[in-house]
Amino acid sequence: MTSIPGQLSPAPRLLLGPGPSDAHPRVLTAMTTPLLGHLDPQFLEIMNETQTMLRAVYQTKNPLTFPVSATGTAGMETCLVNLIEPGDKAVICTMGYFGNRMVDIAGRCSAQVTVKEAPWGQTFDLQVLRETLQTVRPKVLGIVHAETSTGALQDISELGKLCHEFGALLVTDCVTSLGCTPVKLDEWEVDAAFSCSQKGLSCPPGMSPVSFSPRAVDALKARKTKVQSWYLDLTSIMSYWGGDRAYHHTAPITMVYALREGLRLVLEEGLEARFARHVRNHVALKAGLEALGLTYTAAAHCQLPQLNAVRIPEGADDAACRKRLLTEFGIEIGGGLGDFKGKAWRIGLMGQNSRPSCVFQVLAALEVVLLGAGVKVTGGAGVAAAEKAYAA
């Protein structure tokens, strides 16, 4: 006999890591809406509404904008697997962990991959990429917009135009940017973008919103080979999330409910107000972190407001400090990934969690933990600096 575990009752957490971030209560409530069939006219209308709002948040008119039925990396895979055919040339720009993941996936698509590397915490200069595009002439250039492992924001506002000069398609990882910082697919001429539900959109993880430009759709239609993944094959998914709503797979109904509610919250607030809020809370958190002597891993010109990655101060034990934050204060922050494993902490202020109470909670708890670890910190300095920043 298998013993049956009890009712779910986890100790509460405040999720201030790199994601998942806390889901908004309205999103959780929306998920209790009874299921509809995936071909029910009522659900088809919910799909329409969700797609319309998703286009608004992505700032695009792309008809092919919808959530992939899986988490963020499946969105990455969807973009690459559909746009790359075996032997195609791809340039992948890496400046952190998730760029490397794109290299891996492009390789599995049998692309000829050229990797352009920037140091972790830095971003790419367009001039460098121009040279690469000119030399390689790839079909696809992939780049991370908001690198979750380093907290760096890559300016991609002119990159689409540049790619198109050389006939390349621009694929961007917007997993950590969407809903937190501006993402303007049309103005920036992005051809394929993917994101997630559990960061800037304040939903649980489980969906990956993607969007494809008409140029990307043309490339898809011109494929000579079948897409290697059935589940992620846009040539078929298009007929469910596109025109005729033909059955492909059973959509994760409840997750679509969640996403719809998350998008409603984004649009009710307004994009500009939301982006400004993320900046405001970031500035306060940053003032506080710096007052505690912590330094950012990302260069000063490209720090993400929604993901504050800082170097772990000397003397502090990574795992022990994060464990104390979690168990004593119920606050989750993220550890480092890849090159930054054991060297960085990542503090997210994403979606609804970008608010003063989160800033103060994490600064206060961090002060206690750092003091406890023997790091030289002036008690109250972080909180005071944040207060001052808000007042400014």
Min CB(8)–a copy of itself separation in Å: 5
- What is the token pair recorded at 385? 């600096």
Q: 316: which DSSP letter?
A: -
- Known binding residue 137? Answer is no
Min CB(262)–a copy of itself separation in Å: 12
**Please, which residue, 101 or 215, has the CB nearer to a copy of itself?**
101
* Non-local CB neighbours of 18 within 8 Å, separated by 6+ positions: 148, 149, 176, 199, 307, 334, 346, 348
Query: What residues pair up with 152 in beta bridges, in sequence order?
Result: 147, 303
The answer to whether 368 touches 383, Cβ cutoff 8 Å, is no
**Please, which residue, 76 or 141, has the CB nearer to a copy of itself?**
76
The answer to whether 262 touches 201, Cβ cutoff 8 Å, is yes
Q: 199: which DSSP letter?
A: S
Determine if residue 179 is left, alpha or beta; phi over 0 gives left, psi from -120 to 50 gives alpha, anything else beta.
left
**Strand blocks (E) in 286-341:** 307-311, 331-332
Min CB(9)–a copy of itself separation in Å: 8
**Please, which residue, 34 or 243, has the CB nearer to a copy of itself?**
34
What pairing do the DSSP bridges indicate for beta strands 64-68 and 208-212?
antiparallel
Min CB(299)–a copy of itself separation in Å: 25
CA atoms within 13 A on the CB side of 90: 32
d(CA 102, CA 46): 32
Rounded to 10 deg, the angle between the 234-241 and 214-221 helix axes is 130
**Please, which residue, 271 or 283, has the CB nearer to a copy of itself?**
271
Min CB(24)–a copy of itself separation in Å: 11
d(CA 213, CA 63): 8
CA atoms within 13 A on the CB side of 191: 28
The answer to whether 272 touches 63, Cβ cutoff 8 Å, is no
User: Coil, helix or strand for 157?
Assistant: coil
Min CB(351)–a copy of itself separation in Å: 12
**Please, which residue, 72 or 291, has the CB nearer to a copy of itself?**
72
**Please, which residue, 43 or 124, has the CB nearer to a copy of itself?**
43
Min CB(139)–a copy of itself separation in Å: 19
Min CB(322)–a copy of itself separation in Å: 10
Q: Which of 179, 187, 180, 133 lies closest to 156, judged by CA?
A: 187
**Please, which residue, 250 or 378, has the CB nearer to a copy of itself?**
250
Binding positions for substrate: 346
Binding positions: 346
